[in-house]
């Protein structure tokens, strides 16, 4: 009998499928969250509950320990250490011959809290005397793996990335299929005393290198601009803005990226038959199995979002139009303007069309990703919309062309940033913003010409 813990996790689910045909018992907190599979017995319980551990380990020859608590509140490192100690003691009492544990690469001193905790768990499991085969891995590459999904989402959402020094730290990503192969083989390997084995892919790259490979295979052009000052703490806050779904656990992972996680002891290649894939093939497989997510909004909710965004944009346009009332028109007519100035009658209809187009662009992004996931481009969109409405009041209401020029330059840059952010998520949304960007650029040029001609 084999006991599998962490079966609802990313690696655990795959490992369960790889153990088809063997007698497997799974310790789970919620039995309904586990795939049903012939020959698999479920025991409800928690690794912090000694009685549940005794029930789960009864008659077990080998156990997989794939537990971590990073997603939980509180001090996950202490909780993980305590759980590992309890598991080791219960395994010794039950006569378990071997524990197989998946930990994290990295060498002390200076390990992040996350990596230090992963290695402390390995030591705690072994403290009771049961042989522990500890496989230490770096970034696991596969569709659904959190570190890989973080990299993929950043590549998909950000055409330009400010990359701090830790993005250039070396890591040794390993395909999830190779991780599972190591775990399966660890049951039968001739390791009566256990041991620590560092496992990694066929080559070492930086986290930035992983993102560049994802971009290359996706056919994206992405620019990575190195900066010296973006610390892991600031980066984690940036992640919560760009990709909030992964942000909670991602903060701990980012803190760990400052440590090199490469294989320094290659003995796993001598003991195990696994020959890990290279980064290109690992990424290719991961991208091939990454499903296209369904739209965040559909049906009535999508229609309501579209109507709300249309109303917001049209209201901003109407409020801006109030500044260009009959009282301001003689003043504007008296200004010297370049010969290529469009007729006054053109501005109203053009702006009306542009407000509709930008609302549709924002709707495409919201419908695809939802308000939470799309909050970065929506923040840029909202700020530029406010500046759009304010420009008319500065130029016409305050009759201050120079101040309006400064404002519209900032507005143009924000519209450009919004267009790029929209395009990264939806090419249609980005294209819908292009006429607006061109018109604002024309308006800024006209504003600059009026300032020059009317000193």
* Per-residue model confidence as pLDDT tens for the chain (455 residues): 999 999 888 899 999 999 888 889 998 887 765 656 667 888 888 888 888 899 989 999 999 999 886 555 557 888 999 999 999 999 999 999 999 999 999 886 778 888 888 899 999 999 999 999 999 999 999 988 888 888 888 888 778 777 777 788 889 999 999 999 999 999 988 888 889 999 999 999 998 899 999 999 998 888 888 877 656 566 656 666 666 665 555 555 566 567 888 999 999 999 999 999 999 999 999 999 877 778 888 899 999 999 999 999 999 999 888 877 655 678 888 899 999 999 888 888 999 999 999 999 999 999 988 888 888 899 999 999 999 999 999 998 899 999 999 999 999 999 999 999 898 888 899 999 999 999 999 999 999 999 999 98
Domain end among 253, 288, 323: 288
Is the same domain home to 221 and 324?
no
95 found inside a domain: yes
Q: Which residues, 6 or more positions from 304, have their beta carbon under 8 angstroms from its beta carbon?
A: none
Domain endpoint, select from 248, 264, 288: 288
How many CB atoms within 10 Å of residue 402? 15
**pLDDT reported for residue 273:** 94
The Cα 80–Cα 98 span in angstroms is 19
Shared domain check, 70 and 47: yes
> Angle, to 10 degrees, between the axis of helix 401-425 and the axis of helix 427-453?
170
Closest CA relative to residue 162, chosen from 215, 254, 206, 228:
228
Residue 64 is encoded by which pair of tokens? 């997989």
For residues 176 and 265, is the Cβ–Cβ distance under 8 A? no
Helix axis angle, 146-157 to 232-242, nearest 10°: 70
Residue of 96, 81, 143 lying closest to 2 (CA atoms): 96
Residue 293 lies in a domain: no
- Give the Cβ contact number of residue 207 at 10 Å: 25
Domain match, 341 and 410 both: yes
- Any bridge partners for residue 3, and if so which? 25, 63
DSSP-based three-state secondary structure for 193: coil
Separation between Cα atoms, residue 165 and residue 167, nearest integer Å: 5
Q: Under a CB-based contact definition with an 8 Å cutoff, are residues 132 and 97 in contact?
A: no
Instruction: Judge whether 294 lies within some domain.
Output: no
Residue 153 within any structural domain of the chain: yes
Indicate whether 196 and 332 sit together in one domain.
no
- Same domain, residue pair 283 and 305: no
Residues 6+ apart with CB under 8 A from 134: 101, 103, 122, 125, 126, 194, 195, 196, 197
What total number of domains does the chain contain?
2
How far, in Å, are 143, 192, 220, 271 from residue 223 at the CA level? 24, 50, 10, 41
Domain boundary among 255, 288, 321: 288
Residues 264 and 316 in one domain: no
Strands 2-5 and 24-28: parallel
- Asked if 264 and 107 touch (Cβ cutoff 8 Å), the reply is yes
Residues 81, 10: one domain?
yes
Helix (H, G, I), strand (E, B) or coil at 99: strand
DSSP 3-state assignment of 98? strand
d(CA 177, CA 168) in angstroms, rounded, equals 25
Same-domain pairing of 180 and 310: no
Tokens of 152: 């993929």
49 within domain boundaries = yes
Instruction: Provide the β-strand partners of residue 160.
Output: 223
Q: Is residue 55 part of a domain?
A: yes
Beta-strand pair 98-104/132-137: parallel
28 falls within a domain: yes
As given in the structure block, the two tokens for residue 191 are 């390791």
Query: Of 221, 205, 198, 270, which is closest to residue 420 (Cα–Cα)?
Result: 221
Count of other CB atoms within 10 angstroms of residue 287: 17
One domain for residues 62 and 156: yes
Buried b (16+ CB within 10 A) or exposed e, 244-275: ebbbebbbbbbbbbbbbbbbeeeebbebbebe
Q: Residue 103 and residue 444: Cα distance in Å, rounded?
A: 56
Distance, in Å, from the CA atom of 387 to the CA atom of 381, rounded to the nearest integer, reads: 10
267 and 328 both lie in a single domain? no
CA-derived radius of gyration, the chain = 29
* CA atoms lying within 13 Å on the CB side of residue 25: 19
Q: Is residue 340 part of a domain?
A: yes
Question: Structure pTM?
Answer: 0.76
Asked if residue 366 lies in contact with residue 441, where contact means CB atoms within 8 angstroms, the answer is no
Tokens of 353: 């069309």
Q: Are strands 170-171 and 205-206 parallel, antiparallel or unpaired?
A: antiparallel
Q: In CATH, what number is assigned to the domain containing residue 361?
A: 1.20.1260.100
Considering the domain architecture, whether residues 220 and 241 belong to the same structural domain is answered as: yes
- In terms of domains, do 280 and 313 share one? no
Cβ–Cβ under 8 Å, residues 6 and 16? no
CATH number of the domain within which 189 lies: 3.40.50.720
Taking 3-state DSSP, the helix, strand and coil percentages for the chain, each rounded to the nearest 5, stand at 60, 10, 30
Query: Residue 398 is part of which domain span?
Result: 299-453
């Amino acid at each position: 009998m084999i006991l599998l813990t962490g079966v609802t996790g990313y690696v655990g689910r795959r490992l369960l499928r790889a153990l088809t045909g063997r007698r497997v018992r799974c310790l789970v907190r919620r039995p309904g969250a586990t795939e049903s599979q012939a020959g698999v017995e479920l025991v409800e319980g928690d690794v912090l509950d000694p009685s549940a551990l005794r029930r789960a380990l009864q008659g077990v020859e080998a156990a997989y320990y794939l537990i971590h608590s990073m997603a939980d509140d509180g001090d996950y490192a202490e909780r993980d250490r305590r759980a590992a100690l309890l598991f080791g003691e219960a395994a010794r009492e039950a006569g378990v011959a071997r524990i197989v544990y998946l930990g994290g690469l990295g060498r002390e001193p200076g390990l992040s809290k996350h990596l230090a905790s992963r290695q402390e768990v390995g030591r705690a499991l072994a403290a009771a005397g049961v042989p522990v085969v500890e496989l230490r891995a770096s970034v696991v590459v596969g569709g659904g793996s959190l570190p890989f999904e973080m990299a993929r989402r950043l590549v998909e959402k950000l055409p330009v990335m400010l990359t701090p020094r830790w993005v250039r730290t070396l890591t040794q990503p390993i395909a999830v299929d190779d991780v599972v192969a190591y775990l399966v083989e660890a049951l039968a390997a001739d390791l009566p005393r256990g041991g620590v084995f560092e496992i990694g892919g066929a080559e070492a790259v930086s986290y930035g290198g992983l993102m560049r490979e994802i971009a290359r295979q996706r056919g994206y052009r992405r620019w990575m601009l190195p900066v010296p000052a973006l610390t892991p703490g600031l980066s984690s806050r940036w992640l919560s803005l760009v990709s909030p779904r992964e942000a909670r656990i991602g903060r701990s992972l980012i803190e760990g990226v400052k440590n090199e996680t490469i294989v320094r002891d290659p003995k796993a290649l001598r003991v195990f038959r696994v020959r890990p894939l290279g980064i290109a093939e690992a990424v290719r497989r991961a991208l091939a199995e990454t499903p296209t997510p369904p739209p965040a909004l559909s049906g009535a909710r999508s229609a309501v979002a579209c109507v709300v965004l249309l109303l917001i944009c049209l209201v901003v346009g109407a409020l801006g139009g109030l500044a260009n009332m009959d009282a301001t028109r003689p003043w504007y007519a008296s200004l010297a303007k370049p010969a290529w100035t469009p007729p006054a009658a053109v501005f109203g209809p053009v702006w009306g069309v542009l407000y509709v187009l930008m609302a549709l662009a924002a709707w495409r992004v919201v419908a695809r990703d939802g308000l939470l996931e799309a909050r970065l481009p929506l923040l840029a969109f909202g700020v530029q919309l406010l500046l759009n409405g304010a420009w008319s009041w500065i130029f016409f209401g305050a009759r201050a062309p120079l101040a309006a020029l400064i404002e519209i330059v900032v507005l143009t840059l924000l519209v450009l940033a919004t267009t790029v952010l929209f395009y990264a998520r939806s090419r249609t949304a980005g294209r819908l913003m292009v006429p607006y960007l061109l018109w604002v650029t024309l308006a800024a040029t006209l504003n600059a010409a009026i300032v020059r001609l009317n000193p």
